[in-house]
Amino acid sequence: ELIYGRPFTALEAAAMTTVYCDPAGGKLFKGTASDVRILEDIGFRKVEHHTRHPPIKHRVNSLQHKLYKREILIDEDAAPYISRCLRLQGYADDGKPEKGRPRDGKKGFDHGNDGLGYFVEYEWPISVGETRILQTH
């Protein structure tokens, strides 16, 4: 890839990239380094996350709202995995998004959607009032 008319290294790319991670990424597990610390150690200078998990419905509604308003577009050729996740993740009997492995035994679609949802909800959180409005349409 070229930036400013010259090739850039992986370290330069990492330094320019903001990573949005699961809120659990800032916690330590069994004496190991946190995910945030690991990302910072390999060159990512900006790692963003909430201190606790936002409700799933807020992540889902924030993302659906941005997609509906065409404020976020997904290029199926450039991002085939996230495109597949968005198209195929279903809802469980309790009305929540399915988690884990789908019926075909492949990796669950929730991983890509969760990752995209953390980014969208962090940057463009949706209020409780907006959540109620979205659920009625």
pLDDT at 136: 47
pLDDT at 49: 85
More confident residue, 117 or 133: 117
Is pLDDT above 60 for 7? yes
pLDDT at 101: 62
At CB < 8 A and 24+ separation, what contacts does 49-56 make?
Answer: 49/20, 49/21, 49/22, 49/23, 49/25, 49/118, 49/122, 50/23, 50/118, 50/122, 51/23, 51/26, 52/23, 53/22, 53/23, 53/24, 54/121, 54/125, 56/96, 56/97
Is pLDDT above 80 for 109? no
Is pLDDT above 80 for 125? yes
Residue 71 backbone phi and psi in degrees, to 5 = -95, -10
pLDDT at 137: 47
Q: What is the pLDDT of residues 19-48, one digit of tens each?
A: 888 887 777 666 567 888 888 888 998 988
